[in-house]
Structure 1
Amino acid sequence: MKALLLVAHAPSDNTRLLAKAVLRGAGHPDIDAVQCRWVEPLHAIPEDVLECDGIILGTTENLGYMSGALKDFFDRCYYPCLEKKQGLPCALYVRAGHDGTGTCRAVETICTGLRWHWIQPPLVCRGKWNDDFLQQCETLGTTMAAGLEMGIY
């Protein structure tokens, strides 16, 4: 069984729906050998990352940057995971009220330093709420879980 970790900051009803959509996608009925769990960034510890086979990061856009909770996660987990999780498949979704550019750049910079492997460009759910965001996040979860199960990542 492979472990997929979702580290997502979800301070609102809508952002919780996005995280649940990722979980729903990762739990697609055709995927048998991947288990996904969600840990809030302030509760995630280095062992969560060290024990996973892939990670999806979720954040809100806060003043053109990632959430403080996700930044705190990186601050605590960066060095304990740096040498041990190189090549970890990762993905990112951002709930952005504006364009998400600064948020993506900040997360990508940290993940590049960790030498994690992007499975796709960041998913940016930008602008006013759109129910299509849920399907996009569900697809992201399915894509990551299926790739892990098939050994692509």
Structure 2
Amino acid sequence: MKTLLVVIHAPSPNTARLRDAVLEGTRDPNVTEVTVNAIAPLHATAEDVLECDAIILGTTENLGYMSGALKDFFDRIYYPCLEKKQGLPFALFVRAGHDGTGTCRAVETITTGLRWKMVQPPLVCRGEWNEEFIDQVTALGTTIAMSLDAGII
């Protein structure tokens, strides 16, 4: 079995819906060899990262940056994981009231330092709430879980 770690900051009802949609996507019946470990950023540890085979990150855009909770996650796992998880496949989604550019750049800077491998462009759920965001993040969860299950990532 492979392990997919899901670390999503979900401070509001809508972002909780996005988190739940990602998790629903990972439960596609065609995914048979992947265990999903969903942990909030403030509770996720370096050990969780060290034990996973891929990771999905999700954050809100806060003042043009990632959430403080996701930044705290990176602060705590950075050095313990730096040499041991190079090449870790990851995907990112951002719930952005504006354009999400600064948030994506900040996450990409940290993950570049960790030498993680982004397996698809960031998904930015931009602007006013749109129910299509649910389908987009569900598809993200399915794509990453199926890719991990198939050995593509």
Q: What TM-score do the two structures reach when normalised by structure 2?
A: 0.99
Deviation at 1:38, TM superposition (A): 1.2
Which residue of structure 2 aligns with residue 79 of structure 1? 79
In structure 2, the partner of 1:48 is: 48
CA distance in 2: counterparts of 1:37 and 1:88, whole angstroms: 15
| Cα drift, residue 37 of structure 1 | 2.1
Match of 1:104 in 2: 104
| d(CA) in 1 for partners of 2:51, 2:116 | 15
Aligned-residue Cα RMSD (Å) equals 0.5
Per the alignment, residue 152 of structure 1 pairs with 152
How do 1:4-153 residues align onto structure 2 when only pairs under 5 Å count? Answer: 4-153=4-153
- Deviation, structure 1 residue 35: 1.4
In structure 2, what is the Cα distance between the partners aligned to 1:40 and 1:11? Answer: 10
Separation (CA, whole Å) in 2 of partners of 1:126 and 1:38: 24
Structure 1 stretches of 4+ with a deviation exceeding 4 A read none
The gaps in structure 1 that reach 5 residues or longer are: none
Q: Given that residues 23 and 37 in structure 1 are in contact (C-alpha distance below 8 angstroms), is that contact kept between their aligned partners in structure 2? A: no
